[in-house]
Structure 1
Amino acid sequence: MAWLAAAAAAAAPLGAAAASDAPPGARRMANPDEARAWRAVGRLNLAGRGFCTATLVAPDLIATAAHCLRHPVSGRALAPERLHFLLGHDRGRHAAYRRGRAALSPPGASGRAEDVAVVVLDAAVDEAPPLALGPLSAATSPLALTVGYGVDRPEALSIQHGCRILARRGALMRIGCAAPPGSSGAPLIARGAAGPFLAGVIVARGPDGHALAVAAEALAPLIARARAMEAGR
């Protein structure tokens, strides 16, 4: 499993890379039915400096990659109010628009395995149901899908079916699907007995072009911290 440590060290943040090396034809634009089915996914605009993908995991919480919330040069945290979530963004239209009010990531996070975050929104979203979190062990199929935005299609959702979990070490997984720039924070979606659930968050592209994802279980402590913070307001 030495490849995983090397891949994690060499992986480029998806929002910063210049081009996608995904296999030709591996990703495609989501059709209208698919876009409606995954309307909990939206584009997260980053203080006028680009965008990532984020997913509604509670009416007032979105999940994304932690590196999306930092300035790409200085590494400083972006002000939460400058994080703008566009639910179901599609060619200039979106189902809901919210600003961030607070952002939480793992304390002392420095590696890819901790590159996840939740953003507390300034108001709850009623326009779409949140996507539940779940462990990959609950999946009823070995195949999953990713849905998100990228520099190749920044104005509409792209989708890729049939993503295999190629390997895993702790919370970090190597996924057999594409990882174009801009798709940091995109959900890895699996299907269980109760329906689809968020199994991971795409955080980077490995040197072979495959996506690196952090398992959704890593989000649970952040959601608990967000709830405790809200209760203390």
Structure 2
Amino acid sequence: MIVRRLAPCLLLLLGLALSGTAARDADATGAAIGGRVIVAPDAAPWQAVGRLNVAGFRIRRHCTATLVAPDLALTARHCLGGFRGEEWVAPDLVHFLPGYSRGGYIEHRQAVGYEPVGNEAVLVRLDGPAMIASVPIARRGTVPGTALFQAGYSRDKGQVLTVDPACRFLGWSDDGLWNHDCEAIGGDSGAPILIDTGAGLAVAAIHVGRRGSVGLAEPLDPERMPRLARR
């Protein structure tokens, strides 16, 4: 597809707001991995996307989460399941690292609780407000064919944030999820699916898995999210 060949140029335009650290890493920024590109971790809005590390005794896993309010990170519920079948893993084992890249990060916040806002969508309440800007929640009304952006810490490149800037909302599945063609794999669970609102990017859904070759995302309820964020 032509849009895939154009993806690196598009992502470089999206990530122009580079700090000194990102500028020094410019040789890696914009590198293509299939349909994805590596982005500068301290460029807006990507700095609000972070690795969600979950650590237990001899067990480690990671997902992706997005800061949607100073003290709230949005991710997928199945990322937070207990290691021995419990409904939730203990919050003190969950660490949110926005702007994570190769062992470095902009901030480190620990979970103190969870607020489900959908079947899979969950807000992780953090131990304090982050100092970086959060990403807004999109209003309803996204239609099939809408251009999407998906950002995550994919399993094959888990040390850097990659973005698919040229994917699409394909339509609704029978269980109320979005079908999409973003290159999302393991590690991308909880990753934001963003749309361009004209005023900037906003989170419209979160990636929750795949069904065959098609990605699945849970759309967000914009009426419920701001109410929780204002608490």
The answer to whether the 8 Å contact 1:84/1:98 transfers is: yes
Match in the other structure for 1:14: none
Unaligned runs of 5+ in 2: 1-32
Match in the other structure for 2:66: 55
Q: Which runs of 4+ in 1 moved over 4 A?
A: 225-228
Task: Give the alignment's TM-score, normalised by structure 2.
Answer: 0.76
The answer to whether the 8 Å contact 1:172/1:214 transfers is: yes
RMSD: 2.3
**Alignment counterpart, residue 39 of structure 1, candidates 32, 37, 47:** 47
Match in the other structure for 1:224: 227
Secondary structure, aligned partner of 1:152: helix
Partners of 1:61 and 1:185 in 2: CA distance: 13
Partners of 1:220 and 1:70 in 2: CA distance: 26
Residue 164 of structure 1 aligns with an amino acid whose one-letter code is R
Secondary structure, aligned partner of 2:124: strand
Match in the other structure for 1:188: 193
Q: Relative to structure 1, is the Cα distance of residues 44 and 223 closer, same or farther in structure 2, using a 3 angstrom cutoff?
A: farther
Partners of 2:186 and 2:36 in 1: CA distance: 13
Measure how far apart 1:224 and its partner are.
Answer: 3.0
Measure how far apart 1:151 and its partner are.
Answer: 1.2
Task: Give the alignment's TM-score, normalised by structure 1.
Answer: 0.75
Match in the other structure for 1:102: 113
Match in the other structure for 2:138: 134
Match in the other structure for 1:213: 217
Match in the other structure for 2:165: 161
Partners of 1:65 and 1:94 in 2: CA distance: 21
Secondary structure, aligned partner of 1:177: coil
The answer to whether the 8 Å contact 2:83/2:89 transfers is: no
CA deviations on 1:181-200 (whole Å, 9 max, x unpaired) are 01101000110122110111
Percent identical residues: 33
Unaligned runs of 5+ in 1: 1-23, 107-112, 229-233
Q: Determine which structure has greater relative contact order: mean sequence separation of CA pairs < 8 Å that are 6+ residues apart, divided by chain length.
A: 1
